[in-house]
Structure 1
Amino acid sequence: MKIAVSALEAGLSAPVDPQFGRAKWLVIYDTETQSVESIDNSANMSLTQGAGIKTAELVSKHNCQVVLTGHLGPKALKTLQAVGIEGYNGITGTVRDAINSWKEGKLPKA
């Protein structure tokens, strides 16, 4: 299973970005292989509208099943749900902390 986390920087030690659509990075963690891939999302940062939808589409293209972020807007959430991706809001700390909290079942769904 792949988990996408909005991040301010690349890597597991990066702080979680409080925004989803305009997050600078998406850190993708594969629970099966434990591999980590950091995707530059800066192209969506300057969009005046639709950043959440574009970022949701990017997450879908990378075959993620879960999104962890500080804030997931309603349009982005609807886009994710339409393709079967679970969203989780209100996430803080590092990407690693967010993934561990998700694994432990401590995060509420958006």
Structure 2
Amino acid sequence: MIFTQICIPTIEKEGLNSIISLHFGKTPYFAFLKEKNGEIEDINFIESKGKHMGGSLTPAEIILNSDANILICGNLGSKAVNMLQKNNVKVFSGANGSVRDIFEQWKSGNLDMADKNSCSSKMVH
């Protein structure tokens, strides 16, 4: 079986109802969805242990150490976009809402691929 592994940063661990964390670098959790044939087969959460949260890895490195081949987020910086894309992780930005809503947005093709200018200038770092 071939799965697509999707990572979504979240502010909580409430399954498909979890709300996206709009600040990728400071997300408290990552939701990992296994998708097959347009359906979610499984969802797991890990607590972020990124550098911004007192850990030793960047959020991008956490994702690269997982099986995720897609990241869907609200905003993220150019360094993270470049690191992930160089390692064959497709990055989509501009997402908002619950994990369920975001999955449907992705499935419908309503999310944009991230580029080096994905981080909103309104975000405080």
TM (normalized to structure 2)? 0.77
Structure 1 counterpart of 2:9, from 6, 17, 32: 6
Q: Which runs of 4+ in 1 moved over 6 A?
A: none
Amino-acid identity (%): 25
User: What's the offset of the Cα at 1:43?
Assistant: 4.4
Aligned length: 106
Name stretches of at least 5 consecutive residues in structure 1 with no aligned partner.
Answer: none
Name stretches of at least 5 consecutive residues in structure 2 with no aligned partner.
Answer: 115-125
Higher Rg: 2
Higher relative contact order (CA 8 A, sep 6+): 1
Normalized per residue, the structure richer in strand is 2
Q: Distance in 1 between matches of 2:108 and 2:50?
A: 33
**Secondary structure of the equivalent of 2:26?**
coil
Q: Which residue of 2 aligns with 1:71?
A: 75
Structure 2 counterpart of 1:22, from 15, 23, 26: 26
- Can you list the C-alpha shifts for 1:7-29, whole angstroms capped at 9, x where unaligned? 00012211110011211110000
TM (normalized to structure 1)? 0.87
